[in-house]
């Protein structure tokens, strides 16, 4: 099949590469000429395990193409995927200007039947707005061209996006046209071989399903962080509690890891957008507000623990910071807890020596030559001259450090662990003080 994908960011690039991987002809369109030039030169603008190899392979075999030409892109595919950004507006609602701009561009250039697929995470009712935008342009052209608008939300986790696309838990198709549903089922046939993963529903339900999924996962995280804060006050160990409740099949182990808060491009934005949608409907979504408030508060917990350990302040102290990305296996620092922490430390007069396996270039883009922030080339380099160690991202390579060496290198012999990576008793055996979350 021939497929056009508007947007070559995270969702668009993964979608295009994976659809090409199973034999389709795919054209990714983006207005950013520099990004398209880089992609055509084999330079991938984001880090995602396996993505660079998949893009290069499908480019070399002639199945994956990149362009800035809107007309070429619209002419190319029967399926027109919209995978552009929906950044939060000032009031927390999703900004649809890029989605609707693509819809109008498709309408201005289409000459035959198209299936317009909303892949971006968009509020309930967006498909109606996309449909109206296309009708308006076609009416202005005095053109009578058939089209359908479909909601097909993505469920990609950064760090495992290729697996999520190639081996999905579910494929949601929201449409009011049975024929269109069959065409989408055919498109997703290669990803649906071992069992039936396609779930068809009405468009509005499909749009809400995406927000509901992210809000549910964010709720589990905030709930566990709330319990972790309570466990500290009760003298309980939240990690033991986690094992105890996770063994209940009704609860499970996924997304019940306490820590220093969630971040990224999805959960914070989507919880706010769903809360805003509820307000527009005249409904006060108390739980969503609480989820967001608990997470915002949790991002300050590490700084609170550090401040508690240093009652005379941290002016002049140097902190080794392991982890900048909001989670492992990505370079994404959007809404990352590390940003809240390092900004607070520097504002209090401390120096931060930061290291992340993938996000160093992103940190440099965000902070430049910020006074008090030192970019370290390795995790070992962060420890040189450091008073304390702070862990914010649970990268695998941080799991088994040399605690003897840490005892010798850290002037104040203290670790602040925002991801509960170590057993407290083991760390303390090496003469180190250890602060974790809920332990």
366 burial level (CB within 10 Å; 0-12, 13-18, 19+): middle
Average per-residue pLDDT for the chain:
96
DSSP assignment of 30-78, as one string? -S-HHHHHHHHTT--SS--TTHHHHHHHHHHTT-EEEE--HHHHHHH-S
Q: What is the pLDDT of residues 387-430, one digit of tens each?
A: 999 999 999 999 999 999 999 999 999 999 999 999 999 999 99
* Residue 76 neighbours by CB distance under 10 Å: 20
Residue 266: active-site member = yes
Cα distance between residue 327 and residue 396, in whole Å: 11
Question: In terms of pTM, does the model score above 0.75?
Answer: yes
∠ at Cα 27 (25, 31), nearest 5°?
175
Helix axes 203-234, 126-141, angle to 10 degrees: 150
Record the tokens describing residue 136, joined without a space. 């308006």
- The 8-class DSSP code of residue 200 comes to E
Half-sphere exposure of 121 (CA within 13 A, CB side): 27
User: Quick one: average pLDDT of 77-104?
Assistant: 91
- When pLDDT is cut at 50, 70 and 90, the band that residue 162 belongs to is very high
pLDDT of residue 88: 80
DSSP assignment of 307-325, as one string? HHH-TT--TT-EEEEE--S
What backbone torsions phi and psi does residue 72 show, to the nearest 5 degrees? Answer: -60, -40
- When pLDDT is cut at 50, 70 and 90, the band that residue 312 belongs to is very high
pLDDT of residue 231: 98
- When pLDDT is cut at 50, 70 and 90, the band that residue 38 belongs to is very high
User: Quick one: average pLDDT of 91-100?
Assistant: 88
Cα distance between residue 196 and residue 169, in whole Å: 10
Half-sphere exposure of 272 (CA within 13 A, CB side): 20
% of the chain beyond a pLDDT of 90: 95
- When pLDDT is cut at 50, 70 and 90, the band that residue 97 belongs to is very high
* Residue 251 neighbours by CB distance under 10 Å: 13
Q: Is residue 91's pLDDT more than 90?
A: no
Helix axes 97-109, 126-141, angle to 10 degrees: 30
User: Quick one: average pLDDT of 53-74?
Assistant: 97
pLDDT of residue 432: 98
Burial 194-215 (b: 16+ CB within 10 A, else e): eeeebebbebbebbbbbbebbb
Record the tokens describing residue 318, joined without a space. 């140097």
Cα distance between residue 281 and residue 268, in whole Å: 20
Q: What is the pLDDT of residues 104-146, one digit of tens each?
A: 999 999 999 999 999 999 999 999 999 999 999 999 999 999 9
Cα distance between residue 88 and residue 101, in whole Å: 17
Pick the catalytic residue from 18, 28, 260, 266: 266
Cα distance between residue 124 and residue 161, in whole Å: 24
DSSP assignment of 71-132, as one string? HHHHHH-SEEEE-----B-TTSPBP-HHHHHHHHHHHHH--S-EEEEE-S---TTHHHHHHH
What is the number of residues in the chain?
A: 439
pLDDT of residue 249: 96
- When pLDDT is cut at 50, 70 and 90, the band that residue 35 belongs to is very high
- The 8-class DSSP code of residue 198 comes to E
- When pLDDT is cut at 50, 70 and 90, the band that residue 195 belongs to is confident
């Amino acid at each position: 099949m021939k497929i056009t994908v508007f947007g070559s960011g995270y969702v668009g690039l993964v979608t295009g590469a994976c659809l090409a991987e199973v034999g389709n002809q795919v054209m990714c369109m983006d207005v950013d000429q520099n990004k398209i030039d880089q992609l055509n030169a084999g330079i991938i603008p984001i880090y995602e395990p396996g993505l660079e190899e998949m893009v290069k392979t499908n480019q070399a075999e002639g199945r994956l193409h990149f362009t800035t030409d809107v007309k070429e892109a619209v002419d190319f595919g029967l399926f027109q995927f919209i995978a552009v950004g929906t950044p939060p507006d000032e009031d927390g609602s999703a900004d649809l200007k890029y989605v609707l701009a693509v819809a109008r561009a498709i309408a201005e250039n289409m000459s035959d039947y198209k299936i317009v697929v909303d892949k971006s995470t968009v509020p309930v009712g967006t498909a109606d707005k996309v449909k109206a935008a296309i009708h308006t342009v076609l009416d202005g052209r005095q053109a009578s061209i058939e089209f359908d608008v479909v909601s097909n939300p993505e469920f990609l986790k950064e760090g495992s996006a290729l697996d999520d696309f190639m081996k999905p838990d579910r494929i949601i198709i929201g449409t009011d046209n049975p024929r269109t549903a069959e065409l989408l089922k055919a498109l997703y046939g290669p990803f649906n071989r071992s069992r039936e993963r396609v779930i068809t529903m009405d468009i509005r339900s499909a749009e809400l399903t995406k927000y509901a999924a992210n809000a549910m996962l964010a709720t589990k995280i905030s709930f566990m962080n709330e319990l972790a804060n309570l466990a500290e006050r009760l003298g309980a160990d939240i990690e033991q509690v986690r094992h105890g409740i996770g063994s209940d099949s009704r609860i499970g182990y996924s997304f019940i890891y306490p820590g220093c808060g969630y971040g990224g491009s999805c959960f914070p934005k989507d919880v706010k957008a769903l809360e805003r949608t509820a307000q527009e409907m005249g409904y006060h979504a108390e739980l969503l507000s609480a989820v967001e408030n608990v997470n915002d508060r949790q991002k300050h917990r590490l700084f609170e623990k550090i401040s508690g350990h240093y009652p005379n302040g941290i002016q002049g102290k140097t902190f080794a910071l392991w982890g900048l990305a909001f989670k492992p296996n990505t370079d994404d620092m959007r809404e990352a807890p590390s940003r809240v922490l390092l900004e607070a430390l520097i504002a209090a007069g401390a120096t931060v020596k930061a290291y992340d396996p993938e996000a160093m270039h992103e940190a440099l883009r965000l902070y430049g030559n910020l006074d008090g922030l030192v970019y370290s080339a390795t995790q070992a380099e962060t420890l040189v001259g450091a008073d304390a160690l702070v862990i914010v991202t649970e990268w695998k390579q941080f799991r088994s450090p040399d605690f003897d060496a840490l005892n010798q290198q850290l002037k104040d012999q203290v670790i602040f662990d925002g991801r509960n990576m170590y057993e407290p008793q083991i760390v303390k055996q090496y003469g180190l003080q250890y602060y974790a979350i809920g332990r």
